[in-house]
Structure 1
C-alpha cells in the first residue's frame, strides 16, 4: 500500500478563515494547518529560506488565527487577574504580558499574549485552544460584572531586523518609542490599529492588530506589504526553527492541559506569582507542585542521526519517544534541524530526575503508523543541553531598533546571528 506523504488539507466553508486568508493566499501558500478552528498558512514552499529571510531581513505573517478575546466591564481587572497566573497589578495600561491560564489542577489551558488596553479592558491573543466559553463559564460561576466576547480584531506579524524600518515608513518615527512588550494605537490610511512590540520569533518584531478586521484586513495587508517592498519583505509562515532555537512553547505540543508551568521551567516559573494577595484559578494546586517539585521537566536536547525537518513541513507527525535504561521516560515535543547550529535540536518533556544537563538518552525519530508505541527502528543518541539554544537572555528582541536601522543591512544581518 502506497502512503501519500503530502495529502491535501481540504479548503471548504466549514472551517473558519483568517481575515487575511485571501490576502496571504495570493503569496503562494504551500501548506495549511488548522489552528483555533481556522486555516493557518504554515509555509510558502521553502521553510529554510523563510528562516533566513526572518534572520536577515523582514517578514510578514498571517496570524489572524490568534483570536482576540476581550474582557471588559466594571470587574474586568479582578476577573482577568483571576484567570492568569501573573499579578496584573504589575501590568500598566498600554503594556503586554505573556501569561498562562491554568485550570483548577494547574494545567495550562492557554498561553496568550495579554494586552491591557484600558484600566478595565483587556485582550487575550489566544494560542491554539478554546478559552471564550471557559472564561464565560468562570464569570458566571464567579458572579462578576464583565463582558467577554471575541472581537473583530485580527493580527499580522512584522518580524526581523528590518521590521522597525518598515514600521517607521508605515507609521512614522514614533514607532521607536514602543518598548518591548508595550503597545500603541495608530490610524493607517483611515484604519484603526493597535501595534505591539511582540512576536513569536525571538527577533525584533511587531504585531499589528487591525480593528474591524472583517472589513479592513485585506487593505491593511496591502499597506504593510507596500511599505515592506523597499526593505525586501517576504511573506512566510510561523518560523518554528527560530521559535525552537529560542525555547518558545507551542500549545498542544510542548504544553497542554496536562502540563503545568513548573514543568516547562526555562524561566517560565516566574510567571506564576504565588505571593500575590489575589487568588487565581489553580493557585493552590501550583503551590503544591512547587513545594513537592514537578514530576517532569521540559529540557533542551541535541539530537543525533539524520537531519530532521523544519517541524512545520509535515516531517514530525508524532512526538518522538525518549528512551533511557530500557524504558520510555518522556517524549520530544518539538524538534527540527537548526541551520545556524548545524544540529538537530528539540524540546523534550522527561522525568524530572533525568533532566540534568549532560544526561544522555536514545530518541526514536521513526514514523509509527497506526500505533502509539515506539517503533524502535530509528534510535539515535540525544543529550540534554541548556536552553534556550540561542539568545538565552532574550536580548535580541529587546534590541535598540533605531541603532539597528541606522547601521544598515549588514549590521542587521549580523545582529540576527543570536
Structure 2
C-alpha cells in the first residue's frame, strides 16, 4: 500500500476504518493540573504526552495559528512534567546528564538542552531551569526521563535527589503577551530577559515566570508550584487578565514551530538520532571541550570526528496543501524518494498559512541535504516534487522572541 491509496476498508465483515477515532478518557491516563480548566474552552482533540492527556487543538488550528501571530494565546502545557534535581551534588549530576556546559548557566537562567544516551542519541530535549546552585528543573518533552535519571542517580555515588515536582506550566504566547503578563505581575515582568526566570508570589500562589515558549514568538511560561492545588486557580487568573486583550486558548501550534525550525521529540529527534544529524551539534549545545564527562561524550566526540551519514534538512513540498500536523493528517512519516529509491523520510510537515506553501523537515543522506537538492516526497495525495531549502523557514535569528519591551504599555521593541 502507498500513502495515496487513502483509508483502508476492511473486507472481513467488520466494517470500515473510522478515520477520526475518539480518544478514551478514563482514570489510567494522567491529567494535567489544568485539565478541567482547559477542557471548558472546547478541546476538540487530545493526544497523550508523558502519559498525560494533552489538548492538541480547539476546533480550528489555522485560526489558532493567526491568534498566536497577531494577538495572545494561552496553552495548557501541564504535560511538561518537571523533574526536580536537588542535593549537595545536584550540579555535578545534572552536568553529567546534558552535553551543555552548565558552568555557563547562572542561577535564574534557562537553557534548551539535550539529554543524551551513551551512544549520543537524544533521549529528551527539555528546557532546563536553574533555580539555585544545586537546584534544577527539567521541563520535559515526551519520554520517561524521570526513570532514566533516577536509575543513574542510584548508581552514581552522588548525594542527589531526583523526583517529579508538583509543578505545572502554562504558556502565554503572542505579540500581546507582554500586556497580559504586566496586568498580572506588573511592569517588572518586562525585565525578565530571554531565557531567564523570576520567582513571584501571586495571590498566595508560588510561581516562576520564564521568557520561554514553543513558538519562536514573543512569550512567557508560568510555572505554578503546588499545581495539584493551585493549577485551576492560576489558569483562571491568567484567563481573566487575558480576556480584555482577546486572549484565545489554543493547542501547541505546530505550523509555527515548524516554520521556526523547532524540533519535536518522537518525530524529528528520537533516541536514534544525535545532535549532529539534526543540525544542532553547535559547540555551545554539545560542548566536547568541557571538563565534565557527560553521558554520551565519547560517542559524540567520535561522531563529530567521523561525520554523519544523514542530516535533517528543511524541505519545501509541492502538491496540494497539507494539514496542520496536529490535526491527524500526518499519521506516519512521509517517504522521501530519489531516482526510484526510498532514501529518507519527512518527520514533520504542514502547510504554512503565511508562506502559502508546504514545508517540513526531512531526514536524508548527507549528500542529498544541500540547499537546492531536488527530491520526491510521498504525501497522502501522491508523490510530489520537493526541494531542500534553508531552515528555519521564518526568523532564523529569533529576533521576534528576543524583543525587549517598552515599559508602561507592554509592546515589544527591538533590542539594540
TM-score, scaled to structure 1: 0.94
Q: Deviations over 1:350-408 (max 9, x none)?
A: 11111000001000012xxxxxxxxxx7100010000000000111100123279465x
SS of the residue corresponding to residue 217 of structure 1 reads helix
1:52 paired residue number: 66
Q: Find 2:373's aligned residue among 359, 364, 369.
A: 359
Instruction: Provide the aligned length of Structure 1 versus Structure 2.
Output: 400
Residues 1:139 and 2:139 aligned together: no
Residues 1:220 and 2:224 aligned together: no
Return 5+ residue gaps in structure 2 as ranges: 1-8, 10-15
Q: Find 1:170's aligned residue among 156, 165, 184.
A: 184
SS of the residue corresponding to residue 155 of structure 2 reads helix
Q: Report the alpha carbon displacement of residue 290 of structure 1 after superposing the two structures with TM.
A: 0.5
TM-score, scaled to structure 2: 0.94
C-alpha change, 1:401 and 1:5, in structure 2 (3 Å) is: farther
Residues 1:35 and 2:29 aligned together: no
- Using the alignment, how far apart are the partners of 1:115 and 1:292 within structure 2? 33
Q: Find 1:235's aligned residue among 249, 270, 294.
A: 249
- Using the alignment, how far apart are the partners of 1:340 and 1:92 within structure 2? 37
Richer in helix (by share): 1
- Using the alignment, how far apart are the partners of 2:284 and 2:387 within structure 1? 26
Q: Find 1:394's aligned residue among 361, 377, 398.
A: 398
- Using the alignment, how far apart are the partners of 2:293 and 2:307 within structure 1? 21
2:25 paired residue number: 11
Q: Deviations over 1:105-146 (max 9, x none)?
A: 000000000000000000000000010111111112221110
- Using the alignment, how far apart are the partners of 1:319 and 1:404 within structure 2? 47
Q: Find 1:95's aligned residue among 86, 103, 109.
A: 109
Q: Where do residues 142-153 of structure 1 align in structure 2 (5 Å cutoff)?
A: 142-153=156-167
C-alpha change, 1:157 and 1:116, in structure 2 (3 Å) is: same
SS of the residue corresponding to residue 261 of structure 1 reads coil
Residues 1:119 and 2:138 aligned together: no
- Using the alignment, how far apart are the partners of 1:390 and 1:223 within structure 2? 33
Return 5+ residue gaps in structure 1 as ranges: 367-376
Large movers: runs of 4+ above 3 Å: 266-270, 403-407
Residues 1:62 and 2:62 aligned together: no
Q: Report the alpha carbon displacement of residue 266 of structure 1 after superposing the two structures with TM.
A: 5.2
SS of the residue corresponding to residue 344 of structure 1 reads strand
